[in-house]
Amino acid sequence: MARIVLVGAGSITFAKNLLSDILTFPELTESTIVLHDIDPARLATAEAMATWMVAELGVGAKIEAHADRRAALDGADYVINEIAVGGLAAVQRDFEIPARYGVRQTIADTLGIGGIFRALRTIPVMVAIGHDLAELAPGAVLFNYTNPMSMIPWAVYAGTPFRNVVGVCHAARDTQSTLARMVGVPEEEISFTTAGVNHQAFVLRFERNGENLYRRLDELIEADPELRRRVRVEVYQNFGYFPTESSEHGSEYLPWFLPHADQVEHYRIPVGVYLDWLADGFAEYESQKRSLDAGEGVTIERGDELASLAIHSMETGTPRLIHGNVRNGGLIANLPADACVEVPCHVDRAGVQPTRIGELPTQLAALNRSTLNVSELTVKAALEGRRDHVYQAALLDPNTAATLPVRRIRELVDELIAAHGDLLPEGVRD
């Protein structure tokens, strides 16, 4: 049976959701589940949780826990990655230092100055994982959840011999469900095509039996002033297609919102909200740990995590469609070939098979290229150890550039490099 490795298994909610799915698929119940984390306490909690779930469900899955990454990856069929290099302290630096310069952020993990530095911390570890997989499990599939999604898979396939990496994210699927609810049409009756760059993809087709459902959406927006106070609705009305990211997150990728206090207020943008989410996550971890220590276990409920669905399809041949983040290679004709793009992917025993989209509408490709410019320079900065590319990525970042002049951006970069220190690639921090 399959050997499924969870890297970053100490993220207990993430691990619980994946295991709930994997262990309740009858065809996967004899799998070997391998847990890896660099935090011994969290790894022990993850192992206790997985062991309890297997016993509670009465299935035959085997649980392994390894602090050593290579031991965990050896012989893997599937690897699911959700690491957070530097933990809470690093994220706090990503918020607190830019805030002193006047740079507002909400999530700081995809683009912006926070996304750049999250990538610079994460890419060296992901490159090491890629090299390990090329040696120890060359036939494996690496499913990546870690942001920034437009950069992490790119760094793996550009910086290592390992190519079989697919980024998975809920944003496209959730947006399609949201739009279906908004227009009052069952999702299964709607024809969707959604593609672009992760967290900045767009719903290109939104139809039922030939009816363009965007007309219904326009009527809803026209009738509801509160809808017009959402960033993603503003983007839709100006660019013609609905974006896949939430208003909170999407505000960070553009120059028109966070640099302006009145726009922050008008669009109700929750600056720094990710720190609140992290605090909630730590509280949930402690609650689950107490429950496990008391022998009470955790809640097991299916959540249709994308990686678990893809694994099930590849193991059983059950056909599914997911949105994957993969090397472009002409899938979207008017975006760079080497870029990591998000497109619909068919999944079955043959693996993850991306859909060729053709050209995006010109205005959407232009927005995506702004994101990919930052992504490409950040990936090159990490892989080549070039501090100048970090400056350039920050200078081209829409939110940072709209907030600060050149000199202050360079000073901000220098301060963040000094603060993150050894977490960054050697050439960048020299």
> Could you tell me if residue 351 is inside a domain?
no
> Could you tell me if residue 105 is inside a domain?
no
Say which CATH number the domain at 65 has: 3.40.50.720
pLDDT at 111: 96
At residue 208, φ and ψ (nearest 5 deg) are -135, 120
Is the pLDDT at 290 greater than 90? The verdict is: no
User: Which structure tokens are listed for 38?
Assistant: 């660099």
pLDDT, mean of residues 361-379: 98
Closest listed residue to residue 76, CA positions, set 128, 126, 139? 139
Q: pLDDT tens-digit profile of 236-274?
A: 999 999 999 988 889 999 999 999 999 999 999 999 999
CA distance linking residue 404 with residue 388, whole number of Å: 18
DSSP strand E in 73-121: where?
Answer: 78-81
User: Which structure tokens are listed for 303?
Assistant: 């959540």
Would you place residue 328 in the very low, low, confident or very high pLDDT band (cuts 50, 70, 90)? very high
Cβ neighbours of residue 138 under 8 Å, at least 6 residues apart?
Answer: 162
Indicate the pTM of the whole model: 0.96
Is the pLDDT at 95 greater than 80? The verdict is: yes
Number of H helices, E strands in the chain: 18, 13
Whether 249 is catalytic = no
pLDDT at 428: 95
pLDDT at 279: 85
Q: What is the DSSP letter of 253?
A: G
Average pLDDT, the chain: 96
Would you place residue 287 in the very low, low, confident or very high pLDDT band (cuts 50, 70, 90)? confident
CA distance linking residue 18 with residue 16, whole number of Å: 6
Q: Is the backbone of residue 75 left (phi > 0), alpha (psi -120 to 50) or beta?
A: left
Is the pLDDT at 280 greater than 90? The verdict is: no
131 within 8 A of 162, measured Cβ to Cβ: yes
374 within 8 A of 397, measured Cβ to Cβ: yes
pLDDT at 190: 97
Q: pLDDT tens-digit profile of 206-237?
A: 999 999 999 999 999 999 999 999 999 999 99
Do you find a cis peptide bond into 148, omega within 30 degrees of 0?
yes
Would you place residue 155 in the very low, low, confident or very high pLDDT band (cuts 50, 70, 90)? very high
pLDDT, mean of residues 351-365: 98
> Could you tell me if residue 40 is inside a domain?
yes
CA distance linking residue 93 with residue 97, whole number of Å: 6
CA distance linking residue 379 with residue 150, whole number of Å: 10
> Could you tell me if residue 76 is inside a domain?
yes
Is the pLDDT at 150 greater than 80? The verdict is: yes
Cα→Cα distances 307→203, 357, 405, 407, Å: 22, 22, 42, 43
Pairing of strands 165-168, 78-81: unpaired
Closest listed residue to residue 403, CA positions, set 234, 250, 258? 258
CA distance linking residue 280 with residue 129, whole number of Å: 29
Q: What percent of the chain has pLDDT over 70?
A: 100
Q: pLDDT tens-digit profile of 8-26?
A: 999 988 999 999 999 999 9
> Could you tell me if residue 267 is inside a domain?
no
CA distance linking residue 70 with residue 77, whole number of Å: 14
pLDDT at 258: 98
pLDDT at 183: 97
Q: pLDDT tens-digit profile of 13-61?
A: 899 999 999 999 999 999 999 999 999 999 999 999 999 999 999 999 9
At residue 399, φ and ψ (nearest 5 deg) are -70, -45
| Side-chain half-sphere CA neighbours of 18 within 13 A | 31
> Could you tell me if residue 417 is inside a domain?
no
> Could you tell me if residue 86 is inside a domain?
yes
Helix (H) or strand (E) holding 12: helix 12-24
Q: What is the extent of the structural domain holding 304?
A: 3-90+113-167+295-311
Is the pLDDT at 430 greater than 80? The verdict is: no
pLDDT, mean of residues 343-354: 98
110 within 8 A of 149, measured Cβ to Cβ: yes
pLDDT at 240: 97
Amino acid type, 414? D
Select which of 170, 260, 266, 346 is catalytic: 170
Is the pLDDT at 310 greater than 90? The verdict is: yes
> Could you tell me if residue 193 is inside a domain?
no
pLDDT, mean of residues 156-178: 97
DSSP strand E in 306-391: where?
Answer: 320-327, 340-348, 351-354
pLDDT at 146: 97
Sign of CA dihedral 44, 45, 48, 53: negative
Please count the structural domains in the chain: 1
